[in-house]
Amino acid sequence: EEQLLESGGALVQPGGSLRLSCAASGFTFSNYAMTWVRQAPGKGLEWVSGISGDGDNLYYADSVKGRFTISRDNSKNTMFLQMNSLRAEDTAVYYCARWKGGSTAAAGLPADWFDPWGQGTLVTVPS
Amino acid sequence: ETVMTQSPATLSVSPGERATLSCRASQSVSSNLAWYQQKPGQVPRLLIYGASTRATDIPARFSGSGSGTEFTLTISSLKPEDFAAYYCQQSYSIPITFGQGTRLEIK
């Protein structure tokens, strides 16, 4: 069974840092791009960042660019999100997801849709 | 940035009836459009990708259509388990963007 499991969420003070992890199992991790999506309490989904299968291409939302860094360790089937300079508006459940559909991807992008998703990990930054 | 606008924000429909959800892109996203279902307290689930292809194990009552800037998710005969929030997502350009969601509620 293809599974993703996030960890690392916590309560952190404004300006602090946190590192999220996403452990994958049940598929060949290095063959797929991966992504992070967040959901603030009671709100909709917001794409945060993505990474190609080989880790060479990185993608970020403007809201996190320069503060967050995505990476992966294919030898450990794990993706990471290093979050620095955290703000209250970063409070959310952070989901990791496999970014799938390479053959249908638009030009310049590694993949298309997100499936499956992990259970999420909660990051809380008080105001 | 491509803005995705879903309508309506809330849709009230009776079980057994048809539901039609709309998603409009501020510029063309070709067919790089996916739909997700999210029930309260649960993880988003992929329903449709490539604008019209059902994901694995998704019932045939779910169908997607459209291309370019106008897209539709249709649920042909609503079952109680279909009442949830639905999001469209474009993956044509960075940043990837989601619509704000449509909440499908029981009438």
Q: Which residues of chain A have pLDDT under 50?
A: none
| Residues of B with Cβ-Cβ distance to A106 under 8 angstroms | 30, 32, 91-93
| Residues of B with Cβ-Cβ distance to A104 under 8 angstroms | 31-32, 49-50
Closest-approach residue (CA) in chain B for A62 = B95
Could you write out the DSSP letters of every residue in chain A? --EEEEE---B--TT--EEEEEEEESS-GGGSEEEEEEE-TT--EEEEEEE-TTS--EEE-TTTTTTEEEEEETTTTEEEEEE-S--GGG-EEEEEEEEE-GGGPPTT-S--EEEEE---EEEB---
pLDDT for B60 = 97
Find residues 35-94 of chain B whose CB sits inside 8 Å of chain A: 36, 38, 43-46, 49-50, 55, 87, 89, 91-94
pLDDT for A50 = 97
| Residue B103 pLDDT level (bands cut at 50, 70, 90) | very high
A96 vs B: CB within 8 A? no
Residue type, A31: N
Q: How far apart are CA B19 and CA B98, in angstroms?
A: 20
Q: Write the pLDDT tens digit of every residue in B15-73.
A: 999 999 999 999 999 999 999 999 999 999 999 999 999 999 999 999 999 999 999 99
Share of chain A above pLDDT 90, in %: 91
pLDDT for A105 = 83
Peptide bond into B15 cis (omega under 30): no
Interface test with B, best of A63, A113, A114, A121 (most B CBs within 10 A): A113
pLDDT for A12 = 98
CB burial readout B7-31, b (16+ within 10 A) else e:
eeeebebeeeeebebbbbbeeebbb
Are A59 and A65 in contact, with CB atoms under 8 Å apart?
no
pLDDT for A49 = 98
Q: Write the pLDDT tens digit of every residue in B83-101.
A: 999 999 999 999 999 999 9
| Residues of A with Cβ-Cβ distance to B5 under 8 angstroms | none
CB pairs under 8 A between A and B: 75
Partner-chain residue, chosen from A47, A111, A115, that has the shortest CB–CB distance to B95: A47
CB contact under 8 A, B45 and A117: yes
